[in-house]
């Protein structure tokens, strides 16, 4: 992780310090909290969802989005170039939400390691866009046979959908176990709305 977006060097984020021990965060895919208002908004289908399209636009929007109590973001120019290269190799992925005018309203990106998806950053330029991208991500991972969705930290957004901390040692065990698994992110030929509806049918709103 870069100390700022202008840094040229960065270190791997090991985890937040909690109760004297390092922790990582995750969202339990089978127990994601979807509020009634978010569930209703998802059913309205307010955005056009694009999978692995406009990756650089998504990561730059994540970098440019102001964050509370932060002076910029950790997404440096070097990181952007590195993640774009990983996207070209099929390791990095993104989900983008476009409004009815074709404007990028929200989205996220991350890395696939076996059956683990490492969520790197999410942004919202319009209400609920980031949450909707996150629900589409979870639905896709759930259907695609993924084992774990790692989110680095529990933020206000991830906490609102059920994000939890786990000890770093437990996360490293999961990484060791699942890194060579096969999981299908793209699910070619399956409509996005089908992927979402199957997940929502299996998960009632709170």
Q: In the chain, how many domains are there?
A: 1
Print pLDDT tens along the chain (206 aa): 333 334 444 344 455 555 456 889 999 999 999 999 999 999 899 999 999 999 999 999 999 987 665 555 678 999 999 999 999 999 999 999 999 999 999 999 999 999 999 999 999 999 999 999 999 999 999 999 999 999 999 999 999 999 999 999 999 999 999 999 999 999 999 999 999 999 999 887 65
Whole-model pTM: value is 0.88
DSSP three-state, residue 104 = strand
Residues 34 and 203: beta-carbon distance below 8 Å: yes
156: left (phi over 0), alpha (psi -120 to 50) or beta: alpha
Is residue 9, in this structure, part of any structural domain at all?
no
Closest to 50 measured CA to CA, from 85, 98, 86, 91: 98
Is residue 140, in this structure, part of any structural domain at all?
yes
Residues 1 and 74: beta-carbon distance below 8 Å: yes
Is residue 172, in this structure, part of any structural domain at all?
yes
Closest to 1 measured CA to CA, from 70, 89, 61, 96: 70
Q: Which domain holds residue 192?
A: 21-202
Instruction: Supply the CATH number for residue 49's domain.
Output: 3.40.630.70
């Amino acid at each position: 992780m870069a100390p700022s977006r202008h840094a040229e060097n960065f270190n791997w984020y090991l985890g937040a310090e909690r109760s004297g021990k390092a922790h990582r965060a995750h969202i339990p895919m089978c127990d994601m909290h979807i509020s009634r208002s978010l569930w209703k908004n998802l059913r309205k289908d307010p955005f056009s969802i694009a999978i692995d399209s406009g990756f650089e636009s998504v990561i730059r929007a994540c970098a440019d989005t102001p964050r509370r109590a932060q002076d910029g973001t950790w997404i440096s120019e070097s990181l952007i170039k590195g993640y774009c290269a990983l996207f070209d190799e099929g390791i990095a992925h993104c989900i983008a939400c476009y409004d009815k005018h074709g404007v990028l309203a929200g989205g996220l990106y991350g890395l696939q390691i076996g059956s683990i998806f490492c969520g790197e950053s999410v942004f919202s330029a319009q209400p609920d866009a980031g949450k909707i991208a996150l629900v589409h991500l979870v639905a896709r991972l759930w259907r695609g046979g993924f084992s774990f969705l790692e989110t680095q930290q529990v933020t206000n957004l991830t906490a609102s959908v059920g994000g939890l901390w786990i000890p770093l040692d437990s996360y490293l065990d999961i990484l060791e176990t699942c890194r060579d698994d096969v999981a299908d992110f793209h699910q070619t030929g399956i409509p996005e709305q089908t992927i979402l509806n199957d997940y929502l049918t299996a998960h009632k709103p709170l």
